[in-house]
Amino acid sequence: MKGNRTVVTAVVVIAVLIVGWWLFRRAGSGGAVDLLTEYQTTERKPDPNAFAVADATLNGETKKAIAAPPESPGSRITWKKVRVPDDGWLRVSVGLSPDVWTEEGDGVLFMVLVSDGKASDQLFTQVVNPFGNAADRRWIPVTVDLSAYGGEEVDLIFNTFASQPGKPGDVRHDKPLWGAPEIVIR
């Protein structure tokens, strides 16, 4: 009987050590990253002063957002050397400012890329056209798996383009918004 209690105690101690090691390892891999708090350190093109951070309300839902300029062919925000946590996911919402929803235009192409400085991977593309598609008159949630880059420092790139590929750049009524961008741990 006493031998069984010793074995059970040893198994419990080993299990606690394994769980503790696993939790410590996850915590050491970095936490969530609020990209808005690092906005001032971003590289913004073509005109850094044309971007702005403000609250934006789309269809009754308010988020802190980055307003990108309506440029042809497009604009770019780059967060340099972001450490991606293990099990990291990008969470952001995309949309166009409500004051352009009923104005003629062909929408905006949103794109997210990640780069190691040598090559880049396209992670997400979405055309948002609230004039042509009433379902786009809201924040469109985007979640992208970044776990393949866990533990690495990468450049995270948000692009907006005035039109879809193959179409001429139509900047009419383009007011793209990136809502509440962050890297979370799942």
pLDDT tens profile 73-131: 789 999 999 999 999 999 999 999 999 999 888 899 999 999 988 899 999 999 999 99
Structure tokens at 86: 């293990």
Judgement on whether residues 149 and 104 belong to the same structural domain of the protein: yes
Amino acid in position 165: P
pLDDT at position 27 over 90: no
Q: What's the CA gap between 67 and 175, in Å, rounded?
A: 7
Judgement on whether residues 107 and 162 belong to the same structural domain of the protein: yes
Query: What is residue 19's predicted lDDT score, i.e. its pLDDT?
Result: 43
Which DSSP string do the residues of 49-73 spell out, in sequence order? GG-EEEEEEETTEEEEEEEPP--SS
Q: Decide if 166 contacts 127 (C-beta within 8 A).
A: no
Judgement on whether residues 65 and 84 belong to the same structural domain of the protein: yes
Structure tokens at 96: 């166009």
Query: What is residue 13's predicted lDDT score, i.e. its pLDDT?
Result: 47
Q: 1: pLDDT confidence band, cut at 50, 70 and 90?
A: low
Amino acid in position 66: I
Judgement on whether residues 18 and 83 belong to the same structural domain of the protein: no
Judgement on whether residues 1 and 67 belong to the same structural domain of the protein: no
Query: What is residue 34's predicted lDDT score, i.e. its pLDDT?
Result: 95
pLDDT at position 173 over 50: yes
Judgement on whether residues 5 and 86 belong to the same structural domain of the protein: no
Q: Decide if 150 contacts 85 (C-beta within 8 A).
A: yes
pLDDT at position 35 over 70: yes
Q: What's the CA gap between 174 and 48, in Å, rounded?
A: 17
Query: What is residue 168's predicted lDDT score, i.e. its pLDDT?
Result: 64
Judgement on whether residues 66 and 158 belong to the same structural domain of the protein: yes
What value does the mean pLDDT take over residues 29-35?
77
Judgement on whether residues 43 and 133 belong to the same structural domain of the protein: yes
What is the total count of domains within the chain? 2
Query: What is residue 16's predicted lDDT score, i.e. its pLDDT?
Result: 45
CATH number where 120 lies? 2.60.120.1060
177 Cβ contact list (under 8 Å, min separation 6): 56, 58, 65, 66, 67, 68, 94, 95, 96, 97
- Enclosing domain of residue 9: 1-30
Judgement on whether residues 73 and 17 belong to the same structural domain of the protein: no
pLDDT tens profile 36-82: 999 999 999 999 999 999 999 999 999 999 999 877 778 999 999 99
Judgement on whether residues 172 and 144 belong to the same structural domain of the protein: yes
Q: 18: pLDDT confidence band, cut at 50, 70 and 90?
A: low
Judgement on whether residues 109 and 158 belong to the same structural domain of the protein: yes
Judgement on whether residues 39 and 19 belong to the same structural domain of the protein: no
